[in-house]
Amino acid sequence: MTNQINQSDQSGLIVAESASQWAPIRYDHEQEINEHTSNFFNYLKLKFPTVGEDINELYKTLVIDGAMDINLLMQPSGDILKLWTQHFKQPPGWFFTLQNTAKEWQAGYQGLTDRNWRRVERCKKREEIARKKLVVEPSSSVVEDDGENA
């Protein structure tokens, strides 16, 4: 991105010079981008309160079922529009509304809240517990041992 200010802080935000550009949000842990994505969809519901249930359904389809995040939804390639209409079966008008609203949201976005950061930390702790459990109690292999490796 040519007109991007290359500065970020703990929030992971990179500030774009113009609201007409999307500056990808940087993150160290997947839960961080999930929190940013949720924050955007909450903003979208506040901006369009009469279609809040539709936005909830869109979030479920794109983010929960489709494993998309705000950075993926804002990719400048035409592939995302194709995915939006052909795979997710969403009308193109909503796609353009979502992208324009996301740029507006990012221009005033202050980053993750303390509550968001607590969720990220809880996720990291759960992952660490799971990793330690795997070391103590290794799960069985998904590949059968045919005795040749003995």
Q: What is the pLDDT of residues 66-92, one digit of tens each?
A: 999 999 999 988 899 999 999 999 999
CA nearest neighbour of 100 among 13, 19, 17: 19
What residue numbers bound the domain in which 48 lies? 30-136
CA atoms within 13 A on the CB side of 102: 24
- Is residue 9 assigned to a domain? no
Quote the pTM value.
0.76
Output the average pLDDT for the chain. 84
Give the per-residue pLDDT at 3.
30
Domain membership of residue 110 (yes or no) is yes
Per residue in 13-56, pLDDT (tens digit) is 444 445 578 999 999 999 999 999 999 999 999 999 999 999 99
Q: pLDDT at position 17, please?
A: 47
Q: Which of 65, 63, 64 is nearest to 73 (CA)?
A: 63
In this structure, what token pair is assigned to residue 42?
């909450």
The structural domain count of the chain equals 1
